[in-house]
A and B are shown apart, each in its own frame.
Chain A
Amino acid sequence: RKEVEQDPGPFNVPEGATVAFNCTYSNSASQSFFWYRQDCRKEPKLLMSVYSSGNEDGRFTAQLNRASQYISLLIRDSKLSDSATYLCVVFHSGNTPLVFGKGTRLSVIA
């Protein structure tokens, strides 16, 4: 079982749609969780952290379910500029590197 699993997509949605991405992780001791965004042929950039109580940043909402080892990202009112690959990222503990999922590709269509 991979450490971080995501549906690769692609998700093709019209502008204005709401879209949700899911991610599962295998290490129950994982401490911190993030969503990164990667544009085509660019480096990944931090989109948002994911907190246990859930958190929102504008049109983006992240949720964490520790019992199910499941993370989600909801994007409301999709924009063309949201088209990118969204990476689910997990931090285990101590001096360990971040573990990246393979990403979910989103295309927002006019």
Chain B
Amino acid sequence: GAGVSQSPSNKVTEKGKDVELRCDPISGHTALYWYRQRLGQGLEFLIYFQGNSAPDKSGLPSDRFSAERTGESVSTLTIQRTQQEDSAVYLCASSRDTYGYTFGSGTRLTVV
């Protein structure tokens, strides 16, 4: 597609439930990134996929968070047993080179 597509755009879930967030990057972009942005805060790096290399998971805040990417296409970020502190906007970006990021419009997650 023309841009990075994220779904759902909004998600309200009950504490303790699992959620899956999806990111569809720009075609041809080998790199894909997940960031989290809490209300009024900056972007917090979560995980980075580059081609077929092992992902950089150094930003994942706990083992409740995981992400997958199939080849150079769609990625899913899964949060298990959601907590209220997981409430945030989850932003996905893709790039062809090292730093020409294009962000999706994000998934706004609210844990109640």
Contacts and interface: CB of A to CB of B under 8 A. Distances in A.
Interface string B72-112: 00000000000000000001000000111101111000000
B32 to A, nearest CB: 10
B102 to A, nearest CB: 8
A100 B43 contact: yes
Question: What's the interface size class on B, roughly?
Answer: 20 to 34
A14 B105 CA distance: 30
A43 B106 contact: yes
Interface in B50-76: 50, 53, 56, 59
| Chain B contact residues, majority secondary structure | loop
Interface residues of A, number: 18
Contacts of A54: none
A91 B101 CA distance: 12
Contacts of B56: 95-97
A87 B100 CA distance: 15
Interface of B: 33, 35, 41-43, 45, 48, 50, 53, 56, 59, 91, 98-101, 103-106
